[in-house]
Amino acid sequence: MGFQEVASALSKLNNTTNATNVSQESFISLDQGDPTIFESYWREQGDRCTVVISATDFMSYFSDISNTCWFLMPELAEAIKRLHRAVGNAVTEDRYIVVGTGSTQLYMAALYALTSPGGPEPVSVVCASPYYASYEQETSFVQSGLYKWEGDAYTFDKDGPYIELVTSPNNPDGSKREAVVNRAQGKTIHDYAYYWPQFTPITYAADQDIMLFTLSKSTGHAGSRLGWAIVKDKEVAKKMTKFMEISSIGISKESQVRAAKILGVIADDCAAGSDNFFAYSQKVMAERWEKLREVVKGSELFSLPKYPQEYCNFIGELSEASPAFAWLKIKEDVDLEGILKGQKILTKSGTVSGADKRYVRISMLHQEDAYKIFLERLTLLVNGKSMVENVV
């Protein structure tokens, strides 16, 4: 299901998505990665991240005409660079930054920038399975003549130019990824939405041609719809900026100024070596994963991916990934999404990620009460094997 279908379904069920009023009768919607988990952290920060916007602010389309991305606010560019330096997850020196309405819009801007009108046929776009289901839709929905979704990178065998999308850590399965096709005519787009300390050990500063990041997953502010791309080549950055100009004449400055504030506060805290958002969120995610693994551990039917212990340069110790999504597998050849739905747990089937129906993607980013009820229901399922068999 997409966001629209989720909203519609939950609305009809007289239910909530943000789980503030979750009851035993409610469906728990864990099929979208709505990142409300960190709300309590931000509440504790009081006014440190508050922004005040007056009536005369941001009236012009332009933000910085000397910048390749002319609608990018200088304070946001600066905050983004400071944060990456503090976390050590990406190289920003001598790179171009392009902002978008979420990283979603930037993904399409990147496709536009890496292709040209007039080719003999659309450029193939591939991604190793299991992949983020929305990529297929984003690539295909207006039936562009510039590019064409070709599915799983592992089985891609067409000649000619192609674009490989690399998501690392991967959505849905949390694994670290590198490009798999590696041919001369290939270009890459790296989606690093989840390459932050709360989700995975930071083991190197990423330095790829086009790297996508988003506020939704880095800080949990999904409603701001604020993403950024770090781009090596100036012409690619210019063309991505052109895409943003044609498709929306830039992006919200209100979101930009707020993101600048939030990212700046995190960067300050990290640089000062004090308590900071990532230290907090890494603990919260690790605790959730520990509880989930505890539930699944005793099961012969269900399993979760295993992640290696790695030294995280940011937290300065060995740690294990605690991804934003749990990629749950059931041993039998059954429809796991349907089984979980029977337990009032809404998840995303593996089938939309190029995997099969034995897998589901479960968001780990919802609020605490929803997460607790999810664990209770999963525990019932794991212990009461008969229920699964009944469904089967």
Footprint on residues 243-262 left by a copy of itself (CB under 8 A): 243, 245-255, 258, 262
Size of the site for a copy of itself (CB under 8 A): 83
Amino acid code (one letter) for 98: V
- Bridge partners of residue 29, in order along the sequence: 346
Q: Per CB under 8 A, which of residues 14..33 are in contact with a copy of itself?
A: 16-18, 32
Burial label, 294 (beta-carbon count in 10 A; 0-12, 13-18, 19+): exposed
Stretches 44-52, 154-162, 196-204, 338-346: which one binds a copy of itself (CB under 8 A)?
44-52
Q: 23: which DSSP letter?
A: -
Q: From the CB of 262, what's the least distance to a copy of itself, in Å? A: 7
Q: Per CB under 8 A, which of residues 198..237 are in contact with a copy of itself?
A: 216, 220-226
Q: Per CB under 8 A, which of residues 50..69 are in contact with a copy of itself?
A: 50-63, 65-66
What is the C-alpha to C-alpha distance for residues 7 and 133, in angstroms, rounded to an integer? Answer: 18
In terms of CB distance, is 137 or 390 closer to a copy of itself? 137
Answer yes or no whether residue 102 interacts with a copy of itself by CB under 8 A.
yes
Answer yes or no whether residue 43 interacts with a copy of itself by CB under 8 A.
yes
Q: From the CB of 336, what's the least distance to a copy of itself, in Å? A: 24
Whether the Cβ atoms of residue 37 and residue 221 lie closer than 8 Å to each other? no
Answer yes or no whether residue 2 interacts with a copy of itself by CB under 8 A.
yes
Q: From the CB of 182, what's the least distance to a copy of itself, in Å? A: 27
What is the C-alpha to C-alpha distance for residues 29 and 347, in angstroms, rounded to an integer? Answer: 7
The CA-atom distances, in angstroms, between 228 and each of 103, 237, 251 are 6, 11, 11
Structure tokens at 89: 């997850």
What is the C-alpha to C-alpha distance for residues 320 and 8, in angstroms, rounded to an integer? Answer: 37
Stretches 142-150, 156-164, 280-288, 374-382: which one binds a copy of itself (CB under 8 A)?
142-150
Q: From the CB of 355, what's the least distance to a copy of itself, in Å? A: 21
In terms of CB distance, is 227 or 354 closer to a copy of itself? 227
Q: From the CB of 64, what's the least distance to a copy of itself, in Å? A: 8
Q: Per CB under 8 A, which of residues 105..124 are in contact with a copy of itself?
A: 105, 108, 112, 117
Answer yes or no whether residue 3 interacts with a copy of itself by CB under 8 A.
yes
| Nearest-10 crossing angle of helices 102-113, 133-140 | 50
In terms of CB distance, is 112 or 307 closer to a copy of itself? 112
| Nearest-10 crossing angle of helices 277-297, 368-383 | 20
What is the C-alpha to C-alpha distance for residues 224 and 370, in angstroms, rounded to an integer? Answer: 23
Q: From the CB of 47, what's the least distance to a copy of itself, in Å? A: 7
Answer yes or no whether residue 141 interacts with a copy of itself by CB under 8 A.
yes
In terms of CB distance, is 238 or 357 closer to a copy of itself? 238
Q: Per CB under 8 A, which of residues 318..347 are in contact with a copy of itself?
A: none
Structure tokens at 158: 């067409």
Structure tokens at 324: 């934003």
In terms of CB distance, is 152 or 245 closer to a copy of itself? 245
In terms of CB distance, is 222 or 355 closer to a copy of itself? 222
Whether the Cβ atoms of residue 129 and residue 152 lie closer than 8 Å to each other? yes
Q: From the CB of 297, what's the least distance to a copy of itself, in Å? A: 31
What is the C-alpha to C-alpha distance for residues 30 and 28, in angstroms, rounded to an integer? Answer: 6
In terms of CB distance, is 10 or 180 closer to a copy of itself? 10
73: left (phi over 0), alpha (psi -120 to 50) or beta: beta
In terms of CB distance, is 144 or 303 closer to a copy of itself? 144
Long-range contacts of 269-278 (CB under 8 A, 24+ apart): 270/83, 270/86, 270/87, 270/314, 271/82, 271/86, 277/38, 277/41, 277/219, 278/87, 278/196, 278/197, 278/198, 278/314, 278/315
Answer yes or no whether residue 144 interacts with a copy of itself by CB under 8 A.
yes
Structure tokens at 214: 């988003």
